[in-house]
Amino acid sequence: MKRAIGREGPVTALGAMSGTSLDGVDAAVVETDGLAIFGFGPVGYRAYSAEERSVLRAGLGRWAGPEVEAAGDLVTRAHAQALAGFEGVDLVGFHGQTLAHEPRGRGTLQVGDGAALAAALGRPVVWDFRSDDVQLGGEGAPLAPFFHFACAKWIGASEPLCFLNLGGVGNLTYVDPGFDRPEVPGALLAFDTGPANAPVNDLMQARLGLPMDEGGAVARGGTVETGALELFLAEPYFARMPPKSLDRNDFAEMIGLVSELSDSDAVATLTGMCAAAVAQGMEHCPRPPARVLVTGGGRHNPVLMEMLQVSLDCAVEPVESVGLDGDMLEAQAFAYLAVRVARGLPTSCPGTTGVGALVGGGIVSLPDEA
């Protein structure tokens, strides 16, 4: 059920994100009217345990069944715990956990019960952000670009720039801050660049029993296998014009390309694939950006950041260089988008998801409806 929550003035919104890296729940407060950012508030993080990550992994790629139900219950419970301590919040933006994403097939699936979360928190919850976009012919992803546009305005950018999110999957947003609104043609172009942290995390878990390549330490000791890199870049996805999006497991065969390499060479090669995919994607930008601002867990990997700097023809910097929080940007995005949904504003457009018209997807669940 969609209902507007106030029509004017700033709203205190709490956003939550559980990404494809399966590390935990990010939570962050944003003061916004759904157009401009007025300020950023408290943040929080609730990590998933190894057992909880196993439950989520068991649901990946599935559309129904006990594994999906278990993952959904876990996601709802974890978010209730992560968000309970925030005070003075008007509404919550709840992304849920993506288990499967086939915009040209079965659709998109984010598990987690927004109505149950609204009852647990005693606050309105905006959720199911992607389904309407997919049903109307869009990719359903990425959805952060409208927030990236607001961030570009907030930092006072005057030249075109890119936001690069390196989570489980990489996605790029080209922003031209010369436009007044994000939905104006030419203001935004967004798409998934390719796999990012997910293949590295999966390989690290399978071979070494570790959730990630902390600080790029394993990649630092290895060498990129150019043959595997060339095979990777020959994938038809990279020749497709954006907008376009990926499921976390769309490039699962990458693991096979490095299966005979040593641990360090395999991780270095997968890391190099992420950087090469971004470089390929940058060719789609309408104009060369002045800088690339990197958010998400990948910016903590110095080897990946060095590879990006070598591959791209502009400055590559973490978003902290402009006063933003790269660990919380996606959670902040869904706080911002929640206000847009509640006020009937679009959250995606042809330039961001390829949808045929402006879409303001999402459900608003009120506590008394549960």
User: Does 89 belong to an annotated binding site?
Assistant: no
Angle between helices 197-208 and 263-282 (to 10 degrees): 170
User: Is there a binding annotation on residue 56?
Assistant: no
Binding site annotation covers 167?
A: no
20 is in an annotated binding site: yes
Query: Does 21 show up as a binding residue in the annotation?
Result: yes
Q: Going by DSSP bridges, is the β-strand pair 161-166/11-18 parallel, antiparallel, or unpaired?
A: unpaired
| Closest among 278, 94, 317 to 195, alpha carbons compared | 278
Contact 111, 162 (CB under 8 A): no
Task: Give the burial class of 353: count Cβ atoms within 10 A of its Cβ; 0-12 exposed, 13-18 middle, 19 or more buried.
Answer: buried
Is residue 4 within 8 Å of residue 343, measured between CB atoms?
yes
Question: What distance in Å separates the CA atoms of residue 117 and residue 29, rounded to the nearest whole number?
Answer: 17
- Was 26 annotated as part of a binding site? yes
| Residue 51 burial (10 A CB sphere; 0-12, 13-18, 19+) | exposed
Q: Tally the C-alpha atoms within 13 A of residue 291's C-alpha that lie toward its C-beta.
A: 15
What whole-number distance in Å separates Cα of residue 206 and Cα of residue 346?
41
List, in sequence order, the alpha helices (H) in the chain.
Answer: 50-59, 66-83, 114-121, 131-135, 145-154, 197-208, 217-220, 226-233, 254-257, 263-282, 302-311, 329-342, 350-353
Binding site residue list for ATP: 19-26
Binding site residue list: 19-26
